[in-house]
Amino acid sequence: MEMTSFEKQIVNAPWFNQLLARFYFPKRFARIDRTLKGRVLEIGCGAGWTTHLLFQHLSSTQITAIDFDEQQIEEARQRFAQLGTAAGRVQFLQGDATQLSLPDATYEAAFEFHVFHHIKGYVKAIREIFRVLKPGGHFYALDLGRAFFGPLVSRLFPPEITFTRGEFAGQMRAAGFKIEEEFGGEKFFMIHGSRPAA
């Protein structure tokens, strides 16, 4: 599901992303292993704001960033072209998280930042992430729980689907992930899972 035009205006606004980068993401990114190397995947990169945070945090990685919305992908490409420092390290692709056109067991880690409530088939997306991760690979999911979507929020930022942190973690386990850590409450949560090495 693509975001509404109102949602895009908010989530693409520099002021909004600067607030997130300063006050929201630091505690979450502190839980992401900075020593990760190799290829990593971002699902739902949008206009590339979170991709840039990953780029800064994971200096020894090659990033594949995917979004369903071609317009968002183009904005992300333009943003990184202006930075002029990402040559060879970041690739942006249009794609469907529930049917990734990527080979099995390719990535060391995968990330989603507040995206899966936009994907009605998020369970399929979790299974696709499991498929493309190498054994021992990591999945970091940051999302908004059902408790976040009150009447006003649901009207302004309509979710395609809602879930609790427990439901999301349960779907990760059902896909084969081992849950390494859960962080946050029922409105904002982070779950770190790994694909077992054997």
C-alpha 173/C-alpha 84 separation (Å) is: 40
| Cβ(183)–Cβ(28) below 8 Å | yes
C-alpha 184/C-alpha 141 separation (Å) is: 12
In which residue are the tokens 């054994």 written? 135
Give backbone dihedrals phi and psi of 149, rounded to 5 degrees, phi first.
Answer: -95, 75
Q: Give the domains, in start order, of the chain with CATH numbers.
A: 37-44+94-141+153-194 (3.40.50.150)
User: pLDDT class for 28, splitting at 50, 70, 90?
Assistant: very high
> Which of 58, 102, 98, 56 lies closest to 80, judged by CA?
56
| Tens digits of residue pLDDT in 143-186 | 999 999 999 999 989 999 999 999 999 999 999 999 999 999 99
C-alpha 73/C-alpha 94 separation (Å) is: 7
Bridge partners (DSSP) of residue 67 are: 94
Which tokens go with 33?
A: 């292993």
User: pLDDT class for 1, splitting at 50, 70, 90?
Assistant: low
> Which of 180, 46, 35, 163 lies closest to 108, judged by CA?
35
Work out the average pLDDT over 87-108. 94
- Would the pLDDT of 6 be above 80? no
| Tens digits of residue pLDDT in 47-67 | 999 999 999 999 999 999 999
What confidence score (pLDDT) does residue 85 get?
A: 62
- Would the pLDDT of 2 be above 70? no
